[in-house]
Chain A
Amino acid sequence: MKLTCDEATTICDKNQYNEATLWEKIKLSFHLFLCNKCGLYTRQNTTMSKCYEGHVKLRKVNKPCLSEKEKRHIEEEIKSRIEPSTSNIE
């Protein structure tokens, strides 16, 4: 039943993704009842999750892609590696 702070905060992190089991949640609540440090961690963790959510939304707008120059470079590399015998693909 007794958890260390390390174990308690591991469950707390898992819980941010709704993947902690019922038993883990019970053990966590028991630990939080006794431990202020982990209580503060838990509150801040919820805030952090909100930050990550906002971050994801913001970053989804700009999708990175390869530049034309990089693509042409790869294309040339591929061409140079296609042996003459296999360049006519069936």
Chain B
Amino acid sequence: MSTINKHILNPNKWVELHADYLYNYTISRINNQDTAKDIVQDTFFAALKAMDNFQGKASERTWLISILKRKIIDHYRKINSIKGRAEVKMNFYSDGDREGEWIEERVPSSWNSEIEKVIENNELSDALDKCINALPEKYGIVFRMKTMQQFETEEICKELDITSSNLWVIIHRARTQLRKCMEDSWFKN
């Protein structure tokens, strides 16, 4: 019955000690400040309700993160189930004789001065941000986790509860859409 080494919860200190960490954790997955703030807030509220279940085995932060992870999955499932909203633009025919072939107006065309335009600069980054933010949210989340945060495939699949082939289809659709978006807004100018 020893209480030595048992972690305790102190909700009065949660914001001070953990809010920034949870917020960063969330924003690196869901790049929307308002949504991220809501998720962090909901996490604290859910944690308050679940305090009785805390056994003191994990640290306070680890326990809060486990609740946050569930909130993120819930969010991902929610946006995944909203049908017909901001669907990604198709780049290939999805049925008929030409299934899997490029749709004419989405075929890559050559870019002007490709090399000079690839430098680390703010305008390029802004153009990329615009294109990435125009992706349907569920594609944006997976794309950011894989490409920006450089998570392992397995980790993303576990966190979002998707299969790896599912992940690659999403990455593929995101990247083909981004290519086209950057072609129109950056490389062709």
Contacts and interface: CB of A to CB of B under 8 A. Distances in A.
Which DSSP category, helix, strand, loop or mixed, fits chain B's interface?
Answer: helix
Interface residues of A, number: 43
A56 interface: yes
A82 B48 contact: yes
Interface residues of B, number: 57
Nearest to A10: B172
20 contacts: A4-B100, A10-B168, A13-B172, A37-B108, A44-B114, A45-B179, A51-B128, A54-B119, A54-B121, A55-B120, A55-B124, A64-B24, A64-B27, A66-B20, A75-B15, A75-B16, A77-B44, A77-B45, A78-B11, A90-B8
Given A45-B175, A47-B114, A54-B125, 13 more contacts: A4-B92, A13-B176, A14-B172, A19-B153, A41-B179, A47-B111, A48-B178, A48-B182, A54-B118, A54-B121, A71-B15, A81-B48, A90-B8
